[in-house]
């Protein structure tokens, strides 16, 4: 038996999946996250999943892992005490940042302070020009003095970012050698190992994030690896079995790479869900989709066109920019654990504060007293007192009703049912706005998309969100509550290489471009070789970054480095991409090359998931577990909403071809699906529940 396992650590729950390729069987588990030692909850979740097969760690052939550890460390400012070393005269680079305003007309806007305080920022003599030629040698004496000051201030990590280092890494490498010698045990990150691009502020921000996170992530992954390998306190996974970590670009990286470049693990958990969502949407013929991952703390939204997730290199966590390829995810503070509250103006608000795993929603009975979205669902009957979240967590309906009544109904002078319905309406409005950001605001019509809701709470809120956006089709994947973990079994190994090279686009530049791309492809292949990826499973994709002369931002253009005529066609490809993105193109305007990138891909063997047996039109009797009184609100149901009797079904008993008319509640271990009145659903052979809802 060779079982592949994966886990995803969220703010509220830790999800795990195990897959046996021989039988195509899967098993899942969901346990509360253990914030004080997240690796403990991960191992417990994996142990329970393997128990479904009657197996232990010795049967494991592969381990995947996604996490929110890096994201939480940045948001909570719980990283290493970090110093910043840069070129003399640029000491305040992190503080000045960009001169754009997050909110143009907000006169009270307050910028998030940088991760490094000014007293730990050092300007060092030495200078390169834009071509990488040395103008002034590195001032080693000044660097030694800075190191002494850092040592006196107990610095734990250092980020080194010199002007124009992207063109020549010599000064940064020299500085790293000096600092590592004088500051033993201190992490030193240099920008040319993290983000070899121009734009000093974004490059500096990304490098600082990497240094800030390295001790935290290295410690966490080290503890996780030890627990996984240890037979007595962990699982006993073989030391020769690979442990792969999900990265923000939607690929996988080795454990060693993740410990060295932890900035790549920011948003790693949600990325797995997007990959898996795209996989299942493709199985049912949907290539343009909006994924809606609702967990306990947040809702993560992404747009996928032509079966491939949108990526960006201009992501942010809070107000801190990250200059790395990441799946374009819009994360908002609206999850099952989001707390409902009344603001100073008397308006009902939901989130962004969350009850998280501890103390959790009031209905968890773990000390929480504030009402959350989960409590509202319980009051409205979508869950009931017999519901066991994550398979074993019993909920307290009386505690949920009391929390809603005390903190929302009483201050607004309304009954608890109306208050609970109001909580859902506000939460749905927040999510709808988040979807419009990735669709309408970028020129995409959501009515032409399929909504793919997942996460522990996603399928519960899919129908009302789809109705608000006039989306007529919803595709709910199997085991939606653990989809982010499943994404780690579907993703490929990935490395991204980027270099800045600024020069005019012309036929004369073809030889220069060929030399650059050849070097990048060779470097990408060496990385896959180091990861022991067989030659037949390797692929390298190359792209060119181009813009019109005078523009500030560039577009990535796919480039077939093996085609001798690709360079001549690049100009037309750029103009086509520019017209698609901005609505216009100028055939006479000169084009400028900004940089080159290569993505190294090591293909993994995707699991062949179970196929449902064929059934009749009506669900089998064993799938029908009863009925429940449920309150429904939302578009088409009247301003006040209404109670209705909903049939309750067990999803694991449904067969391909079964059809279900709303109102209905479909339960499974990882999530609950709510079909509103008027919805029509059908089980697909892939296990996807396809819902047609009135718009």
* DSSP character string of 224-252: HHHHHH-TTTS----TTS-EEEE-TTS-E
Q: Is residue 140 part of a domain?
A: yes
> Is 592 in the same domain as 498?
yes
Query: Does residue 157 share a domain with residue 251?
Result: no
209 within some domain: no
pTM: 0.84
Environment class of 659 (CB within 10 Å of its CB; exposed 0-12, middle 13-18, buried 19+): middle
Q: What is the pLDDT of residue 460?
A: 94
User: Is residue 315 a part of any domain in this protein?
Assistant: no
Same domain, 9 and 106: no
Strand order in the sheet with 664-667: 624-632, 642-650, 664-667, 672-675
Is there a contact between 570 and 546 (Cβ–Cβ < 8 Å)? yes
Residue 89: predicted pLDDT: 94
Are 631 and 680 in the same domain?
yes
Q: Which CATH number goes with the domain that contains 505?
A: 3.30.1490
Q: Please enumerate in sequence order all residues whose Cβ is within 8 A of that of 61, keeping only pairs 6 or more positions apart, or say none.
A: 2, 3, 4, 241
My answer on whether 521 and 595 are in the same domain is yes
* DSSP letter assigned to residue 61: E
Q: Determine the straight-line distance between the first and last CA of the chain, rounded to whole angstroms.
A: 48
Q: Which residue, among 477, 350, 311, has the nearest Cα to 302 in the 3D structure?
A: 311
| Final residue belonging to a domain, choices 602, 637, 663 | 602
- Low-confidence residues of the chain, pLDDT below 50? none
Alpha carbons 1 and 4: distance in angstroms, whole number: 10
Q: Tell me how far CA of residue 48 lies from CA of 242, 272, 396, 545, in angstroms.
A: 20, 21, 25, 47
- Are 166 and 224 found together in one domain? no
Domain end (from 168, 203, 238) = 203
Asked if 417 and 631 touch (Cβ cutoff 8 Å), the reply is yes
The answer to whether residue 659 sits within a structural domain is yes
DSSP letter assigned to residue 34: -
With a CB cutoff of 8 Å and minimum separation 6, the contacts of 219 are none
330 falls within a domain: no
130 belongs to a structural domain: yes
Do the strands 642-650 and 624-632 form a parallel or antiparallel pair, or are they unpaired?
antiparallel
Query: Distance (Å, rounded) from C-alpha 642 to C-alpha 309?
Result: 38
pLDDT for 312 equals 82
Contact in structure between 296 and 13 (CB atoms under 8 Å) = yes
CA 459 – CA 456 distance, rounded (Å): 8
Final residue belonging to a domain, choices 181, 203, 225 = 203
CA–CA separation, 426 and 334 (whole Å): 10
- Domains: count for the chain: 4
Residues 68, 9 contacting (CB under 8 angstroms): yes
Containing structural domain, residue 640:
621-692
Let me know whether 60 and 161 are in one domain.
no
Q: What pLDDT is attached to residue 116?
A: 95
Q: What is the pLDDT of residue 112?
A: 80
Q: Is 272 among the domain residues?
A: no
Core vs surface per residue 126-139: b (16+ CB within 10 A) or e: bbbeeeeeeeeebb
Q: Write down the H helix ranges in 117-253.
A: 140-152, 170-182, 191-194, 200-229
Same-domain pairing of 157 and 233: no
CATH number at residue 9: 3.30.420.40
Instruction: Provide the pLDDT for residue 12.
Output: 72
Contact 115, 93 (CB under 8 A): no
pLDDT of residue 636: 66
DSSP one-letter code for 652: G
Q: Do residues 17 and 128 both lie within one domain?
A: no
Residues in the chain: 695
pLDDT tens, residue by residue, 370-416: 999 999 999 999 988 766 665 567 888 999 999 999 999 999 999 99
Strand partners, 159: 84, 189
How far is the C-alpha of 416 from the C-alpha of 405, rounded, in Å? Answer: 5
Q: Where are the beta strands (DSSP E) in 40-195?
A: 60-67, 82-87, 121-124, 127-128, 134-136, 157-161, 187-190
Residues 254 and 182 in one domain: no
Whether 632 and 680 map to the same domain: the answer is yes
| Residue 279 in domain | no
Query: In terms of Cα–Cα distance, which of 246, 234, 244 is closest to 47?
Result: 234
- What the block records as the tokens of 546 is 């181009």
**Residues near 224 by beta carbon (within 8 Å), at least 6 away in sequence:** 38, 39, 42, 43, 65
Q: In whole angstroms, how far apart are CA 308 and each of 524, 537, 598?
A: 21, 20, 17
Judgement on whether residues 70 and 97 belong to the same structural domain of the protein: no
């Amino acid at each position: 038996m060779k079982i592949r396992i994966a886990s995803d650590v969220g703010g509220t729950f830790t999800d795990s999946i195990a897959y046996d390729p021989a039988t195509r069987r899967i098993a899942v588990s969901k346990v509360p996250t253990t914030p004080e030692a997240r690796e403990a909850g991960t191992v417990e979740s994996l142990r329970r999943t393997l128990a479904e097969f009657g197996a232990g760690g010795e049967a494991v052939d592969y381990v995947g892992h996604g996490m929110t550890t890096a994201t939480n460390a940045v948001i909570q400012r719980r990283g290493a005490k970090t110093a910043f070393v840069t070129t003399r005269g640029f000491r305040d680079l992190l503080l000045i940042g960009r001169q754009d305003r997050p909110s143009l007309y907000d006169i009270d806007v307050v910028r998030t302070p940088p991760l490094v305080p000014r007293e730990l920022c050092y300007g060092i003599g030495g200078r390169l020009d834009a071509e990488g030629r040395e103008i002034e040698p590195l001032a080693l004496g000044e660097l030694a003095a800075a190191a002494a000051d850092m040592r006196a201030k107990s610095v734990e990590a250092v980020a080194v970012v010199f002007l124009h280092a992207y063109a020549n890494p010599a000064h940064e490498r020299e500085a790293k050698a000096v600092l590592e010698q004088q500051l033993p045990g201190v992490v030193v990150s240099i920008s040319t190992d993290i983000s070899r691009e121009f734009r000093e502020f974004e490059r500096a921000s990304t490098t600082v994030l990497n240094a800030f996170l390295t001790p935290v992530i290295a410690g966490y992954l080290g503890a996780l690896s030890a627990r996984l390998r240890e037979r007595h306190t962990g699982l006993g996974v073989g030391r020769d079995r690979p442990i792969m970590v999900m990265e923000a670009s939607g690929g996988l990286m080795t454990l060693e790479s993740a410990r060295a470049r932890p900035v790549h693990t920011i948003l790693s958990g949600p990325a797995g869900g997007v990959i898996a969502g795209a996989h299942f949407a493709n199985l049912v013929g949907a290539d343009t989709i909006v994924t809606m991952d609702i967990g306990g703390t947040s809702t993560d939204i992404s747009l996928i066109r032509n079966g491939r997730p949108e990526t960006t290199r201009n992501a942010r966590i809070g107000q801190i920019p990250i200059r790395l390829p990441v799946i374009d995810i819009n994360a908002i503070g609206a999850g099952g654990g989001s707390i409902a509250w009344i603001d100073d103006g008397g308006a009902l608000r939901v989130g962004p504060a969350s009850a998280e795993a501890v103390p959790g929603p009031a209905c968890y009975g773990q000390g929480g007293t504030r009402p959350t979205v989960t409590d509202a669902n319980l009051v409205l009957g979508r869950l009931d007192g017999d519901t066991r979240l994550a398979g074993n967590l019993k909920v307290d309906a009386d505690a949920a009703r009391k929390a809603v009544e005390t903190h929302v109904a009483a201050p607004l002078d309304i009954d608890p049912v109306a208050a609970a319905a109001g909580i859902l309406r506000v939460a749905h409005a927040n999510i709808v706005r988040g979807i419009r950001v990735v669709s309408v605001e970028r020129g995409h019509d959501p009515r032409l998309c399929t909504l793919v809701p997942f996460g522990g709470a996603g399928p519960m809120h899919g129908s009302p969100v789809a109705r608000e956006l006039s989306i007529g089709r919803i595709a709910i994947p199997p085991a939606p509550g653990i989809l982010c973990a499943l994404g780690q079994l579907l993703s490929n190994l990935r490395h991204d290489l980027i270099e800045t090279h600024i020069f005019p686009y012309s036929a004369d530049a073809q030889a220069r471009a060929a030399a650059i791309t050849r070097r990048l492809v060779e470097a990408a292949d060496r990385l896959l070789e180091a990861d022991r990826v067989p030659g037949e499973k390797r692929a390298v994709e190359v792209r060119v970054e181009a813009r019109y002369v005078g523009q500030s931002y560039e577009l990535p253009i796919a480039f077939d480095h093996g085609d001798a005529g690709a360079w001549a066609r690049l100009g037309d490809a750029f103009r086509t991409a520019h017209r698609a993105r901005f609505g216009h193109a100028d055939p006479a305007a000169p084009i400028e090359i900004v940089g080159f990138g290569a993505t190294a891909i090591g293909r993994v063997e995707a699991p062949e998931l179970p196929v449902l047996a064929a059934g009749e039109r009506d669900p089998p009797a064993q799938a029908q577990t009863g009925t429940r009184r449920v309150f429904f609100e939302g578009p088409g149901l009247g301003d006040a909403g209404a109670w209705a009797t909903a049939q309750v079904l067990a999803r694991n008993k449904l067969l391909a071809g079964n059809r279900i008319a709303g109102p209905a509640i479909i339960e499974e271990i990882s999530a609950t699906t709510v079909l509103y009145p008027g919805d029509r659903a059908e089980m697909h052979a892939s296990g996807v529940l396809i819902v047609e809802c009135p718009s």
